[in-house]
Amino acid sequence: MNKLLVANWKLNPEKLSVAVKLAKAIDKKCVVICPPFPFLAAVGKVLKYAKLGAQDVFWEDKGAYTGEVSPMMLKDLGVKYVIIGHSERRRWLQETDEMIGKKVAAVLRVGLKVILCVGEPWSIRKKGLAAAKSFVRKQLKEDLRGLPLGTRRQASDVTIAYEPVWAIGTGRSDKPAETVEMAKFIKQFLHSTFYILNSRILYGGSVDSKNVGNFIKYREVDGALVGGASLKADEFKEIINISAEYD
């Protein structure tokens, strides 16, 4: 399985022309580019190798839900992946596991692929890795409750991005050995509980070209969810080159 790199642009850049130029520069295989909603169509049109991703979705196909975007709308634009449950949405918009679970089910129902974000805050992690695992297990169990138990699923349908919340935007990253242990734990849990075989786990805690190799060199870590570094073309291309060494 090739390493997967997801470029999460968040609320950036400000102008469509900049977004299109950046997309062209990092348009490589095994990359998913997730621009803001207003830029999805234009970015999708210039991609030849990378896949188009969205940063969020709503769980209904239509209705009186002002400001929301449905899975079918995204699919019609050529979106292939959807990020769900990012820690910033959990924090700033108070997204609950119940809401996230509905989104996961809705996205899978229309044939799109899920990138589900899970991860613990520092208040949990400072208690140790066992506490972090327990926290992540609870998230996974609730966020994936819409999956029929005992039904074998394609591993590529659901990708898990493990993002220790305390590492995001702080400039400090997790210890690679502990990320590997968490990745193993998540894969075992997905296999035993949801019968997802060979699941894909990304690391998403302050990734850049200086530290990404420390994580993706391990076979248990299948790629990275990249934030700020994905907005710098040269930086992200370096991450792509490093990732290719471990495919």
- Looking at the annotation, which residues are catalytic? 86, 163
First to last CA, the chain: 7
Please count the CA atoms within 13 angstroms of the CA of 1 that sit on its side-chain side: 19
Q: Determine the 3-state secondary structure of 177 from DSSP.
A: helix
How far apart (Å, rounded) are the C-alpha atoms in residues 18 and 14?
Answer: 8
Please, are residues 54 and 81 in contact by the beta-carbon 8 Å criterion? Answer: yes
Pairing, β 31-34 against β 4-8: parallel
Structure tokens at 217: 């060199």
CA proximity to 27, closest of 245, 236, 244, 247: 236
Residues, the chain:
247
Q: Measured between alpha carbons, how far is residue 4 from residues 109, 169, 225, 230 in Å?
A: 23, 21, 8, 13
Please, are residues 71 and 104 in contact by the beta-carbon 8 Å criterion? Answer: no
Helix 16-25 vs helix 233-244: angle between axes, to the nearest 10 degrees? 30
Please, are residues 186 and 163 in contact by the beta-carbon 8 Å criterion? Answer: no
